[in-house]
Structure 1
Amino acid sequence: MECAIAWVQILSAIVFPLVILVVFLNRKYTQKGIGVRIVQFTAAAMFIPGIVILATGNYIGGETSAALVGAFIGYLFSNISAFDDKK
């Protein structure tokens, strides 16, 4: 069981530099700036593995991790329909 948890933590830790690399390469090749959507993607792609690492390492409890993930998802999806409205 410890081996499986270690692999989950290692794979989650690999996500951090991989997300940054992919975001920078995408922005370089598309010649676009860093907008709201890319910031939301980067935050989501780095926040969730961070919670997984903390939860599997028993640094935070299950209730805390569920509350953090729920609050983060609520934050990401709040006001999402109003963002794309063209006025």
Structure 2
Amino acid sequence: MSVQPEITQRDLRNRSREIMDAIQGGQSFTVTRDGHPVGQLVPLRRRRRFVSRQEFATMSRAAPDIHLDTFRADQDATADTYLDDPYAH
């Protein structure tokens, strides 16, 4: 895990464009005021819309096994088991 560079409140004000460009490029920063950390600037995760077949296959091989009976028991324990229509009047 890499250490985030610290920037002062003044740096943030004076170099905002440069800092925002770095954040957009994936860099994170810790903002300080009077030498004390007061916040973090981190890039937002971008939602991917497409995963290649190769990547999906790789992720699937690394996924834990699903035990059908355990999965079903978990569903039954959390799902509403009433057969009545809750919207019927």
- TM-score range (shorter-chain normalised) is under 0.3
TM-score (norm 1): 0.21
Structure with the bigger RCO (C-alpha within 8 Å, sep 6+) is: 1
Higher helix share: 1
Larger Cα-atom Rg: 2
Higher strand share: 2
